[in-house]
């Protein structure tokens, strides 16, 4: 081969994709590991460097994860260098994140055509930067109430992950493995993606539209179809709770029959169980949003702030105000 041909061959050789993992303090370690490890495996299995990555911090030279483990940063947002992909890793309480330079960094990357993704609470950061407008997206189910209250016009799904053009979002946890399978498949084909999944003993790769949470059968430990249907309706009607008579009518049961099902299978009443569902949603909103407490009360179906505060204290042993100050 002539020297000129060798130079041409090297120049045309595809370079590794440059990936930046933007680590937000308190990021979920499992989600981060599930996102980065498939890239390492892809390199090993392909026998060449398909991906190169660096860790980016918003400040300092090491970033603490949710469990206290610290990851050394290779760069800050001011000197991140050229990137093809940025994965925002976040966790904890996304409402507390307020760092305009980071949001500006992400917006600039988007203008330059960088593919942007987020895992766990990472989509919350992308949404804050206005980078999910017009895109399908998802977020961890724990953050859904806060996300929908903060960004009511975004196209949020309850799926494991969403890949929409140059945006990709993931609910977090081991679902990031499923998302990375899909991304590696897009970048380098199905054979390598399958090999990576096999490497991690992932005998079943889930599709993005798969549900995040266990079914009511598994979560509540019940199998009665009419009780399961009622519990699902209750979860979907938190802001405007359905009355006992309406729930019973929808289940084609009498109120007495439905109460017997709750007593036999859940050891509680309809009202108590529904109240607990609504108060647990309220707790998430108090911890993850800056909504006024009165608006949290309305969003969880309470007619007055006084009744909400009374029920909250009875359920959790502290007032809504105290809950928010403890976060």
Per-residue pLDDT tens digits of the chain, which is 327 residues long: 444 444 434 444 578 999 999 999 999 999 999 999 999 999 999 999 999 999 999 987 899 998 899 999 999 999 999 999 999 999 877 777 888 999 999 999 999 999 999 999 899 999 999 999 999 999 888 888 888 888 989 998 888 889 999 999 998 888 899 899 999 999 999 999 999 988 887 767 766 555 555 566 666 777 788 998 899 899 889 889 999 999 999 999 999 999 999 998 888 999 999 999 899 888 888 887 778 899 889 989 998 899 999 999 999 888 888 888 765
Q: Which two tokens stand for residue 218?
A: 């598994």
User: pTM, whole model, 2 decimals?
Assistant: 0.72
Q: First vs last Cα of the chain: how many Å apart? A: 66
What's phi and psi for 116, nearest 5 deg?
-120, 135
Q: Which two tokens stand for residue 298?
A: 């309305």
**CATH architecture of the domain with range 14-199:** 3-Layer(aba) Sandwich (3.40)
Which strand (E) or helix (H) includes residue 55? Answer: strand 51-57
DSSP, collapsed to helix, strand or coil, labels residue 273 as helix
CB proximity list for 149: less than 8 A, separation 6 or greater: 285, 289, 291, 299
Nearest C-alpha neighbor of 65 from the set 86, 88, 89, 40: 89
DSSP, collapsed to helix, strand or coil, labels residue 179 as helix
pLDDT value of residue 324: 82
pLDDT value of residue 203: 67
Nearest C-alpha neighbor of 50 from the set 84, 89, 8, 88: 84
DSSP, collapsed to helix, strand or coil, labels residue 307 as helix
Parallel/antiparallel/unpaired status of strands 70-72 and 161-164: unpaired
pLDDT value of residue 287: 80
pLDDT value of residue 167: 96
Q: Which two tokens stand for residue 152?
A: 């009511």
pLDDT value of residue 11: 42
Domain coordinates in residue numbering, the chain: 14-199, 216-326
Task: Note the helical H segments in 136-211.
Answer: 144-150, 175-188, 190-199
Class of domain 216-326: mainly alpha
- CA angle, 287 then 36 then 124, to 5°: 25
pLDDT value of residue 51: 97
């Amino acid at each position: 081969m002539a020297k000129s041909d060798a130079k041409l061959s090297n120049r045309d050789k595809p370079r590794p994709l440059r990936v930046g993992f933007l680590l937000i303090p308190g990021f979920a370690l499992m989600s981060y590991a599930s996102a980065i490890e498939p890239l390492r495996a892809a390199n090993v299995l392909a026998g060449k460097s398909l991906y190169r990555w660096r860790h980016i911090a918003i400040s300092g030279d090491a970033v603490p994860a949710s469990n206290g483990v610290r990851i050394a940063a290779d760069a800050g947002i001011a000197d991140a260098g050229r990137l093809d992909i940025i994965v925002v890793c976040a966790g904890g309480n996304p409402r507390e994140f307020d760092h305009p330079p980071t949001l500006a960094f992400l917006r600039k990357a988007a203008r330059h055509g960088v593919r942007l993704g987020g895992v766990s609470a990472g989509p919350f950061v992308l949404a804050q930067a206005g980078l999910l407008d017009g895109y399908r997206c998802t977020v961890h189910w724990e953050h859904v109430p806060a996300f929908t209250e903060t960004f009511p016009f975004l196209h949020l799904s309850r799926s494991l992950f969403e890949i929409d053009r140059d945006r990709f979002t993931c609910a977090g946890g081991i679902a990031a493995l499923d998302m990375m399978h899909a991304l590696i498949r897009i970048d380098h084909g199905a054979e390598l993606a399958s090999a990576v999944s096999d490497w991690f003993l992932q005998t079943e790769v889930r599709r993005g539209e798969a549900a995040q949470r266990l079914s009511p059968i598994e979560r509540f430990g019940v199998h009665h179809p009419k009780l399961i249907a009622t519990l699902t309706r209750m979860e979907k009607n938190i802001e405007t709770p359905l009355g006992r008579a309406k729930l019973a009518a929808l289940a084609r049961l009498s109120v007495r029959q439905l109460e017997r099902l709750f007593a036999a299978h859940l050891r509680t009443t309809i009202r108590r169980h529904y109240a607990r569902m609504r108060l647990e949603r309220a707790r998430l909103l108090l911890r993850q949003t800056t909504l006024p407490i009165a608006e949290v009360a309305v969003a969880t179906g309470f007619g007055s702030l006084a009744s909400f505060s009374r029920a909250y204290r009875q359920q959790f042993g502290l007032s809504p105000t105290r809950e928010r100050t403890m976060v």
